[in-house]
Structure 1
Amino acid sequence: MKSTGIVRKLDQLGRIVIPKELRSMLNIEIKTPLAILIDGDQIVLEKYQPYSACIITGESSDENLSIANGSIVLSKEGAEKLIQELELKVERQHR
């Protein structure tokens, strides 16, 4: 992770303000939903996307295919690219 050098304190209600510069840089506007994640002892904020992003293209859509109990998400384009790569690998192995 990249350090910003910015330090903020929690207020009495447990809130923290994300500086305007960071919100602008990351295109976070008023009412942008943020997901709160835990990574070890770190709290991570990220823009909430209701649909998981494709592991190949990064596309987030309700049409994405989720397989392997949700651990692999593919868009149509990502699935096509994956199939092409697999076909190439199989073809090379049969030479």
Structure 2
Amino acid sequence: MKAIGVVRKVDELGRIVMPIELRRALGIAIKDSIEFFVDEDKIVMKKYKPHGVCLMTGEITSENHEYTNGNITLSPEGAKLLLEEIQATLNQTKA
């Protein structure tokens, strides 16, 4: 485990403030959900990512498909959006 040298106090409502450097490094935005785990005497926090959610649209449908050994889930619309974005990027690099 890596220490980042930041100590925060718990307020009267049980809240702590997560340092912005940590939120940026982990891609945690305002309103994102955080999942908590306990490992012996440690609290482990992880950005919550529900299973089967489209990476591009946030949709959960029976038509969603997993790619890259389950690391990426896309709905048909999300796959179309991602393909368009990839094609646009490739066209920019060719120009």
Q: TM-score, normalised by structure 2?
A: 0.54
Using the TM superposition, give the Cα deviation of residue 19 of structure 1 relative to its aligned residue in structure 2, in angstroms. 0.8
C-alpha root-mean-square deviation of aligned residues, in Å? 2.6
Determine the C-alpha separation between the residues in 2 that align with 1:30 and 1:3.
23
Structure 1 residue matching 2:5: 3-state secondary structure: coil
Which residue does 1:32 correspond to in 2?
32
Q: Which runs of 5+ in 2 are unaligned?
A: 53-67, 75-95
Question: Within 5 Å, which residues of 2 pair with 1:56-67?
Answer: 57=69, 59=71, 61=73
Structure 1 residue matching 2:22: 3-state secondary structure: helix
CA contact (8 A) 1:23 1:29 kept: yes
Question: Within 5 Å, which residues of 2 pair with 1:15-94?
Answer: 15-51=15-51, 57=69, 59=71, 61=73
Using the TM superposition, give the Cα deviation of residue 4 of structure 1 relative to its aligned residue in structure 2, in angstroms. 0.7
- Structure of higher CA gyration radius: 1
Decide whether aligned partners of structure 1 residues 49 and 12 sit closer, same or farther in structure 2, where only a CA change above 3 A counts.
same
User: Once superposed, which parts of structure 1, at least 4 consecutive aligned residues long, lie more than 6 Å away?
Assistant: none
Which residue does 2:6 correspond to in 1?
6
Decide whether aligned partners of structure 1 residues 36 and 5 sit closer, same or farther in structure 2, where only a CA change above 3 A counts.
same
Using the TM superposition, give the Cα deviation of residue 31 of structure 1 relative to its aligned residue in structure 2, in angstroms. 0.8
Q: TM-score, normalised by structure 1?
A: 0.54
CA deviation map 1:15-71 (0-9, x unaligned): 00001111111111001111011011111100112128xxx9461549xxxxxxxxx
Q: Which runs of 5+ in 1 are unaligned?
A: 63-95
Counterpart amino acid of residue 59 in structure 1: N
